[in-house]
Structure 1
Amino acid sequence: MSEKRLIVTGASSGIGEAVARQAVARGWQVLAVARRAERLEALAAEIGCDVAVADLTDEASVAAFAEAAAAFRPTGLVQVAGGAKGAAPIADTTIDDWRWMFEANVIGTKRVLDAVLPLLRASTADGGYAEVMVVTSIAATVPYTGGSGYNAAKSAEKQLVDVLRLELAGEPIRVMEVAPGMVWTEEFSLVRFGGDKAKADAVYQDVQDPLSADDVARVMTDILALPGHVSVDETIIKPVAQTHPWIVTKGPLVARGA
């Protein structure tokens, strides 16, 4: 393979930031993409990545990002940006929250692919492989009470990924999906609950070892490190304490012995 050059979205925090850090630690070139310039600048100063400020829900912002992406000459895209808003029953959810989730998780992914896919195709002209990795969620396939809008948005994003894989048949581009379960990050639940820290913290309270962003990033970069012809189409990552989206053990896990 040619030198690995990854565009990583959502890189100002959480899983995206962890992927950027671990990718650079592996010796790969990274273009870190996010909305918050100050966080990207701090990350670049610390790990030595390139950065591009972009709001993937904004057409003009993505157009500017496309120019930075072209100059970077990527061989891979790691699409992490997304998120959830609200956890109410369907009747109590808002159209604004649904619209935001579809913009952030589905339309945003489509916009990034529009900008980056031609560049990935160009990168394979020397006979190498390129790659697309998209972070969805176990919510993409398993519905749960209070998850309606996020379930719907992540399901749509998963279908986008699955169709892309079909449409790239015959090209040297692997398309891979990573679907995490319960991951503690500094912002995901805080955004979901509108900044209510008590509600956000309660999600993880008394759960033994929820996944961290570093845990997920390690799995993702391990997969990306595989030879380019090896496609791990779908990876589900959950903490042992979570056996289903709504079945989470509270308190310590119990060793039963032999």
Structure 2
Amino acid sequence: MFHWPKRGDGSDAGQAPFRDIGDLKGQVAVISGSTSGIGLALARSVAACGGEVVLNGLGDPAEIEATRAGIEADCGVRVRYHAADMRRGDEVADMVAFARRELGRLDILVNNAGVQHVEAVENFPSDKWEQIIAINLSSTFYATRAAIPIMKAQGRGRIVNIASAHGLVASPFKSAYVAAKHGVLGFTKTVALELAQDNITCNAICPGFVETPIVEKQIADQARTRGMSKEAILKDVILGSQPTKRFVTTDELAGIFLYLVSDLGASANGASFSIDGGWTAQ
């Protein structure tokens, strides 16, 4: 839980509102793509702050169950898993409904599921294009559409879409991913405007490169596509984009996420938060 630093006299009087950043007791979050990487880090941050979580994502069933049970035991909150295929709108909607059935409500929706494929446009496989648009963009629509009535009935809600620096700028060989993430930002703004008077916010986080399985796979794909070594891709292409020359950490993403879902984040709406080491400042 977030703790505001004490003053020199040992008191923290006047800082009570800031404690809300780290208090999610009684709240329920659905986080797509949360069996690894960014999604798992956000799920753990919710549970660590007392919130309950519905996990979703791919992986070995035994490993997913171990992860679910581990978070539940460590944090003393209920954690569930839903195996929705993000390519199927009906399954995505059922994942959202599952949260209310199992945990009684839905306060936070995180649209995080994502896949990547690296290839020149002229050679880009049609099935990969359709897959990326479905998982990275369309699932965000289906989950949000299902969540809005629940949040309206509760009188409050927080929707956080995990976009990317590639929602703001482009890179070669990532046409479907870039198109999908630009679409996520446009969708975020529209939802924010529609729900502005319903005490429901919708924002996007735009990370730079984070050390996750999807990025690890990109290193090999970029090396193949560009005809470079993996070491050169990491130094000159992956981290070459970020002036800090280091990966963004999942803890850094969790920090802005916890602000956005807190009451202090109520006036952040329709915004895109760049957490990219200065990439998009160039």
2:183 maps to: 156
Q: CA deviation digits over 1:112-151, x for unaligned, max 9?
A: 1122222111221xxxx31100001111121222222211
- Using the TM superposition, give the Cα deviation of residue 156 of structure 1 relative to its aligned residue in structure 2, in angstroms: 1.3
Aligned equivalents of 2:160, 2:207: Cα separation in 1:
13
Which moves more between the two structures, 134-143 or 34-43? 34-43
Amino acid corresponding to residue 68 of structure 1 in structure 2: F
Q: CA RMSD in A?
A: 2.8
Amino acid corresponding to residue 223 of structure 1 in structure 2: L
The reply on whether 1:204 has 2:231 as its aligned counterpart is no
The answer for unaligned runs of 5 or more in structure 2 is 1-19, 73-78, 240-244
Q: Which has the higher helix share?
A: 2
Which moves more between the two structures, 41-50 or 201-210? 201-210
- Using the TM superposition, give the Cα deviation of residue 172 of structure 1 relative to its aligned residue in structure 2, in angstroms: 0.8
TM-score normalized by structure 2? 0.74
| Counterpart contact for 1:54–1:62, Cα < 8 Å | yes
- Using the TM superposition, give the Cα deviation of residue 100 of structure 1 relative to its aligned residue in structure 2, in angstroms: 1.0
2:242 maps to: none
| Counterpart contact for 2:31–2:43, Cα < 8 Å | yes
Q: How many pairs align? A: 239
After superposition, the Cα gap between the structure-2 partners of 1:62 and 1:38, relative to the gap in structure 1 and judged at 3 Å, is farther
Rg larger in structure: 2
The answer for unaligned runs of 5 or more in structure 1 is 248-258
The reply on whether 1:145 has 2:172 as its aligned counterpart is yes
1:251 maps to: none
2:7 maps to: none
Aligned equivalents of 2:45, 2:221: Cα separation in 1:
30
2:160 maps to: 133
1:83 maps to: 115
1:215 maps to: 252
Amino acid corresponding to residue 35 of structure 2 in structure 1: S
2:198 maps to: 171
- Using the TM superposition, give the Cα deviation of residue 39 of structure 1 relative to its aligned residue in structure 2, in angstroms: 3.7
Which moves more between the two structures, 37-46 or 163-172? 37-46
| Counterpart contact for 1:182–1:210, Cα < 8 Å | yes
Which moves more between the two structures, 200-209 or 31-40? 200-209
Secondary structure (helix, strand or coil) at the match of 1:53 reads coil
Aligned equivalents of 1:223, 1:199: Cα separation in 2:
39
Which moves more between the two structures, 73-82 or 221-230? 221-230
| Counterpart contact for 1:83–1:192, Cα < 8 Å | no
2:85 maps to: 55
1:121 maps to: 152
